[in-house]
Structure 1
Amino acid sequence: MMTDIFSSFDPYTSFLPTNISPIMFWLISFITLTIIHSSLWMQSCRYTSILYLPTNTMFKQSNRTSLPNLKGSPSLLVSLFFMLIMINFMGLLPYVFSMSSHLLFTMTFGLPLWLSMILSAAIFYPKKFTAHFLPSGAPDWLNPFLIIIETLSTLARPITLSFRLAANMSAGHIVLGLIGIYATSSLFSSITNSIILLSIQSLYLIFEIGICMIQAYIFCLLLSLYSDDHPNL
Structure 2
Amino acid sequence: MMTNLFSVFDPSSSIFNFSLNWMSTFLGFLFLPYIYWASSSRWSLLWSKLIETLHKEFKSLLQPSHVGSTLLFVSLFSFIVFNNFLGLLPYVFTSSSHMVFTFSLSLPLWLTLMLFGWINHTKNMFAHLIPQGTPVVLMPFMVLIETISNVIRPGTLAIRLAANMIAGHLLLTLLSSTGPSLSLSILSILIFSQILLLILESAVAIIQSYVFAVLSTLYTSEIN
One fold, TM greater than 0.5?
Answer: yes
Q: Give distance in 1, aligned partners of 2:197 and 2:35.
A: 35
> What corresponds to 2:215 in structure 1?
222
Q: Give distance in 1, aligned partners of 2:121 and 2:63.
A: 16
> What corresponds to 1:111 in structure 2?
107
Unaligned runs of at least 5 residues, structure 1: none
Within 5 A, what are the aligned runs for 1:24-173?
A: 24-26=20-22, 28-39=23-34, 42=37, 43-66=39-62, 69-70=65-66, 72-173=68-169
Sequence identity (%): 38
More helix by share: 2
TM-score by length of 2: 0.91
> What corresponds to 1:20 in structure 2?
17
> What corresponds to 1:183 in structure 2?
179
> What corresponds to 2:6 in structure 1?
6
Aligned-partner SS, 2:33: coil
Q: Give distance in 2, aligned partners of 1:135 and 1:167.
A: 31
Cα deviation code 1:21-47 (max 9, x no counterpart): 12x332x22443222322587451212
**Aligned-residue offset at 1:6:** 2.4
Q: Give distance in 2, aligned partners of 1:80 and 1:68.
A: 20
**Aligned-residue offset at 1:137:** 1.0
Cα deviation code 1:141-200 (max 9, x no counterpart): 1111100100110111110011000001001100011111123432xxx11100010010
Runs of 4+ in 1 over 3 A off after TM superposition: 39-43
TM-score by length of 1: 0.87
RMSD: 1.9
Would you say how many aligned residue pairs link Structure 1 and Structure 2? Answer: 221
